[in-house]
Amino acid sequence: MALPCDSDGICMFCKTKPTILETLICNTCITPWHVPCLPVNHRPLNMPDAGKWVCPDCLIMSTEPVTGSNHGGGGGSLMAAVRVIQLDATLSDEEKDKKRQELLIGSLKVNDGNCAEGDAVNSVLDVFDGSECSICMQLPERPVTTPCGHNFCLRCFEKWISQGSGKCANCRCLLPPKMAKNPRINSQLAIAIRMAKMARSGCDVPGGPPKVYQFIHNQDRPDSAFTTERAKKPGLANACSGKILVTVPQDHFGPIPAENDPTRNRGVLVGDTWMNRMACRQWGAHFPHVSGICGQSTFGAQSVALSGGYVDDEDHGEWFLYTGSGGRDLSGNKRTNKNQSFDQKFENMNEALRLSCLKGYPVRVVRSSKEKRSAYAPDEGVRYDGIYRIEKCWRKVGKQGCKVCRYLFVRCDNEPAPWTSDDCGDRPRPLPKIKELKGAVDLAERKEAPSWDYDEEKGCWLWKRPPPESRKLAGTVSPANGNTGKVKRKLKTASVKEKLLKEFACQICRKVLANPLTTPCAHNFCKACLEGVFSGQSFVRERACRSGRSLRTQKNIMKCPSCQNDIAEFLQNPQVNRPMMGIIEALQREAEEMEEKCSESSGKNDENEKNVSEVSEQCDSSEEVLEEIKDNNMNRANKFRKCDKGASVENEEE
């Protein structure tokens, strides 16, 4: 490996100070090199060629393009600009040094003749100012982020570590030995830089070439779930849904009646069983084929599935205690993780269930044979068990130590349950006593009359209030006009900077990073989230033997929430990643400015529409006045004609 001389003129390879005759100076970066320590292929053949000699580092930069942070050119364009400065005879040596320094730090733009393209790139890449590699001062290629918050190219970092330094090249903080030996790439920063570079070519950005999506209409789907050619796994692991056989929208509340079942003309009845969730979706009992909750946080929940996903669930047939969703780390290859790692909150699907509780909406319930702890689960497949209503919801500490959202479901269906021998449906019953309500928090109960309730006169459960209007039409063909009835929505196209902002998400709370921390294993978290995971845990553990003699303390292992690496030393003094925080703040400011501009433009459009409507009303009124004048003239002419005819008749009689 070739290494130059340091600032004192000592060769970094052989640790000796070379003489003037043994020293070569690079024509580009003006760095001294020891000739005997250079590889043979990098030494000049003749002494006259020494004035044009280029060091190995600059030669690599000229052959391998590295995108800069303040200009659109790569390493080749940077080297060309340096050579132009060197060959300019009108500049003195001091002026050449100054221009070369300005070019390297990025304050002088490279004149490639593509100013418009460079400006377009700068508008996207300006947010990465301050995140350059601390060694080459370019946007990091395969970025490595140290625990102290500094970014490096992987190649620059490895070269720096190979020199025997175990400290950060920027702040000289001591690096963890494991990170110095095996550095990890910061994937979130790499993806964000890649998206910014893609904006230069117009790919996957507004105005660029649109993506092609494959879509199959409901009438063109087969009668059962199928596997496409792209899904190579056997079975229904990657299967697509079959044809939806009912005419209800996906946000339909309550039972599915016979008028919405054109195939069988009987609706979905209690006790209907399907082989899997894909077939259950086709009949509308529970549309999601993976998620256990079907609903919207601002609209309510329509159905739930009991499949044994959470250990806190309790099933008692006519009533059960249901656990909300979330609280698990599903990043990476942990899509089936069943361990709670953080608290659940009333948001997203949990908020949808809470809204159905407060409004008293009916919720369809299906039970799966995967629930092995319940005596009411079917032996195989998925079974529809009727309508339930959520009476209470609260939060409490679950069996795994984290808070979970809990819901009390009580059955209120007009058909008997599949496990009973009754010949009639449910009747209003008193609520069961729940012991865990003593330590519950955030308790929510319905204070108004429920929308779905029992009618004493008719003796059945029905809607006491009009059901909420659907936001998603069923999409079936109406016999009157043949239209599909689908509403065309204006899709909000996110800008490149909004997409970049979504990439900087915490791997615990899934929101935009606040006070970001980058662990030695290259995972990014909010500071509050990461400290909350390990709150109450000490870094060392006191030990004692049975005789009472105290033993040596033992270090507690604190594993990263996204991997199995120990980050206990990092948590003792975590440093906020300032460059990443600067990028996020810049993106947030620009997103707010874009929203303000959009709101102003929408206000102007509303004013223009009002003016157009007023002008049209004036035109309509003027047309009405003209019509009235014409009618009056016609009436007068007719009167005159009648008078003339009458006079002639009288004259003849006389």
Question: What mean pLDDT is predicted for residues 127-136?
Answer: 80
Does the pLDDT of residue 293 top 90, yes or no? Answer: yes
Residue 105's pLDDT band, with cuts at 50, 70 and 90, is: low
| Band (267; pLDDT cuts 50, 70, 90) | very high
Mean pLDDT score of the chain: 77
- If one compares 126 and 116, the residue with the highest pLDDT of the two is 126
When pLDDT is averaged across residues 87-98 and rounded to a whole number, the result is 80
Residue whose token pair is 């004493």 = 456
What per-residue confidence (pLDDT) applies to 301? 95
Q: Are 135 and 169 in contact (CB under 8 A)?
A: yes
Contact (CB, 8 A) for 34 and 18: yes
Query: What is the bridge-based pairing of β-strands 441-445 and 314-315?
Result: unpaired
pLDDT computed for residue 132 by the predictor: 84
In this structure, what DSSP letter does residue 436 have? Answer: G
pLDDT digits (tens, 9 = 90+) for 14-57: 888 888 888 888 877 778 888 888 887 777 766 556 667 788 77
Other residues' Cβ atoms within 10 Å of the Cβ of residue 171? 12
Helices and strands counted in the chain (H then E): 13, 21
Range in 112-121, 202-211, 505-514, 628-637 with the lowest mean pLDDT: 112-121
Given this model, what pLDDT does residue 537 score? 83
Work out the burial of residue 199: count CB atoms within 10 Å of its CB; fewer than 13 is exposed, 13-18 middle, 19 or more buried: buried
In this predicted structure, the answer to whether residue 545 has a pLDDT above a threshold of 80 is no
Comparing 399 with 491, which gets the higher pLDDT? Answer: 399
pLDDT in tens, 307-352: 988 889 999 999 999 999 988 877 655 556 778 888 999 999 999 9
> How far is the C-alpha of 222 from the C-alpha of 229, rounded, in Å?
15
Residue 254 confidence (pLDDT): 93
For the segment 48-68, the average pLDDT, to the nearest whole number, is 61
pLDDT in tens, 196-214: 777 665 554 444 445 555 5
Contact 152, 187 (CB under 8 A): no
pLDDT at 106 exceeding the cut of 90: no
DSSP 464-509: SSPPPPPSS---PPPTTT----PPPP---PPPHHHHHHHHSB-TTT
pLDDT at 230 over 50: yes
Burial 567-602 (b: 16+ CB within 10 A, else e): beebbeebbebebbbebbebbeebbeeeeeeeeeee
Predicted confidence at residue 2, as pLDDT, reads 73
Q: Distance between CA 620 and CA 327 in Å, rounded?
A: 61
pLDDT digits (tens, 9 = 90+) for 419-475: 988 888 899 999 999 988 988 999 999 989 999 999 999 999 999 999 998 887 654
What is the structure's pLDDT at 46? 67
The residue ranking higher by pLDDT, 284 or 500, is 284
Residue with the larger pLDDT of the pair 130 and 634: 130
Of 165-169, 527-531, 590-594, least confident by mean pLDDT is: 590-594
Give the pLDDT score at 390: 95
8 A C-beta contact, residue 402 and residue 360:
no
Q: Is the pLDDT of residue 123 over 70?
A: no
- Close Cβ partners of 158 (under 8 Å, ≥ 6 residues apart): 183
pLDDT confidence bin for 554, thresholds 50/70/90 = confident
Q: How far apart are CA 505 and CA 580, in angstroms?
A: 11
Taking 50 as the threshold, does the pLDDT of residue 71 lie above it? no
Whole-model pTM: value is: 0.49
Q: Could you tell me which residue, 129 or 143, shows the higher pLDDT?
A: 143
